[in-house]
Structure 1
């Protein structure tokens, strides 16, 4: 009886959380309707951004470049974070001395909790010049015939800079999931691998194969974190409506577009609605990716218990 009452007492709090979530979706949908009725799906398929202050009917907003930039930089971030996260997890669990284990874990937790503006300032004043002078310019001089390196990196603010910065930022999130999953592998599995004559490297590969769902979940959650990052990316991506295959080209992401344009959006007829429509697309991407990551992680946890 008391247990049932306790469950009932928790229901309002659960309903409040889901109610807030539903209201967020409703706000984005309602605010996006004006521009969606005016432009339709072209807002997501066009790269034209035409703001006209005195004639709203001539306004046109296409966020394809921002969508492209968000996906491009997030994929780069995941490609960078994946080997870093796996390597860090294996090193902390299997190779790091006992005195270093906890300090290393605490350091990654601190990195995960740092304000993003700290990363952004460091990226703008340290990372971008380093990448420009020692990575972008040499590659451009010698390999500019390859599309990935074909854009001249004048300032260094680019998809590459944003992707590298995001990769550094999301590594603590991915590594924490992978590390805990790797730690939970029963020690008997390690003993079995070594008893069959496996080397330390081969045993590590076997154990990592056992936690593949956790690795996938960690990377999906890291992608969801990267695709929604705003302040840090705005400082290093270049903020240009540009769709270019080169890593060295400047661009926009949905988050940086909203951050840069929202301040003066209210003087235009449809810009606020366009920014909400862009945010709605980002909302959907983040929701799908995070749900996918949580589902994979839940399957892994269920398989471990089974």
Structure 2
């Protein structure tokens, strides 16, 4: 408690002098919990970096840029773990998810706010909330039983016949468990979260703005385009949040991604993500000297990707707000 009190005094500075003795005691008790949360947040990357150190000493940066995965029991020097296919799979499937989820989320927000009678809005919103509350394993089982066969028969095979010359459909589709399926599933999974943010921003546009748009003779489609332009920062924030959720999804992706250490652009090819790799390999990692450390390095890669994406998103939003401010 003494340490917490000192930290709060340092953080609050002269503002802490305004509190009386009882307020300070209450502040110390309440302030202990944010300090605990802050320490937990700081400990996460620290622990991951410490646990990743052995693989960096063994392989260096090659753990991130190599596609070789060689687990040799009893011969630690021959072990080699390359995370590039898994890192690529995570970024690739999350990017697909942002495209799919972004389209679904924007369409849902516009449909609910502008095209559905008011009495049906609550029903659709409740259904979307139910989707957000579903366990991820339910999505994974549904995708394995329904989505993967559907995409294989009606999307992958026809597109492979037509577009086999492109890198996106060059791999002969033999199963629905592919990078494309994982990306589409993730897009569906992030839709409830992204749609909630986009709809909230869309519905908060002042009525006077909407009336002004229609008073100029705008059609329904033109009005929707203008209103979506007003909430671009909210759309971007929703997509960044969706990317962060998609890139770390584990169980559902592990069921449909194919779990193959391949580095490819083909949507019809099996692949793997960092999260699914960790889930599949962590139980056997203690039998190898460097495998566990390599998996922690994968977690570090996810942490850096998430940090970079969120930082870029915040920077873009800030620049957008500054540009809007200059024109107001």
TM-score range, shorter chain: over 0.9
For normalisation by structure 2, the TM-score amounts to 0.88
Query: How do 1:188-203 and structure 2 match up within 5 A?
Result: 188-203=208-223
Q: Give the match for residue 180 of structure 1.
A: 200
* Structure 1 partner of 2:122: 102
Question: Does structure 2 retain, via aligned residues, the 8 Å contact 1:217–1:292?
Answer: no
Q: Which moved more, 1:89-98 or 1:207-216?
A: 89-98
1:237 aligns with 2:284: no
Q: 1:27 aligns with which of 47, 50, 54?
A: 47
Q: Which is higher, the Rg of structure 1 or of structure 2?
A: 2
Cα distance in 1 between the residues matched to 2:206 and 2:319 = 18
How far the C-alpha of 1:10 sits from its partner, in A, is: 3.1
Partners of 1:260 and 1:191 lie apart in 2 by: 55
Q: CA deviation at 1:142?
A: 2.6
Root mean square deviation, CA, Å: 2.1
- Tell me if structure 2 keeps the 8 A contact 1:262–1:272: yes
Partner of 2:227: 207
TM-score (norm 1): 0.94
Cα-to-partner distance string for 1:129-177 (whole Å, 9 max, x where unaligned)? 0000111111112321222111011112111100110110011111111
Question: What SS is found at the alignment partner of 1:149?
Answer: coil
Which 5+ residue runs of structure 1 have no aligned equivalent? none
Instruction: Give the corresponding residue for 2:102.
Output: 82
Question: Kindly tell me: are residues 291 and 143 of structure 1, through their superposed partners in 2, closer, same or farther at Cα, counting changes over 3 Å?
Answer: closer
Question: Aligned ranges for residues 37-186 of structure 1 at < 5 Å?
Answer: 37-186=57-206
Task: Report how many aligned residue pairs link the two structures.
Answer: 305
Q: Report the Cα distance in structure 2 between the residues aligned to 1:248 and 1:15, rounded to whole angstroms.
A: 47
CA contact (8 A) 1:240 1:252 kept: yes
Q: Which residue of 2 aligns with 1:266?
A: 286
Q: What is the distance in 2 between the residues matched to 1:24 and 1:11? A: 21
CA distance in 2, matches of 1:136, 1:7: 60
Cα deviation, residue 8, structure 1: 4.7
Spell out, residue by residue over 1:247-294, the C-alpha distance to the aligned partner (whole angstroms, 9 max, x if none).
101101000000000010100000000000001111222233345556
Shift of 1:12: 1.4
1:279 to 282, 295, 299: 299
CA distance in 2, matches of 1:287, 1:15: 21
Q: Which ranges in structure 2 are unaligned for 5 or more consecutive residues? A: 1-18
Counterpart contact for 1:221–1:289, Cα < 8 Å: no
> Relative to structure 1, is the Cα distance of residues 92 and 295 closer, same or farther in structure 2, using a 3 angstrom cutoff?
farther
Q: Is the 8 A contact 1:214 1:300 kept in 2?
A: no
Report if the CA contact (8 A) 1:241-1:251 is conserved. yes
Q: 1:219 aligns with which of 239, 242, 266?
A: 239
Q: C-alpha separation between the residues in 1 aligned to 2:235 and 2:136?
A: 24
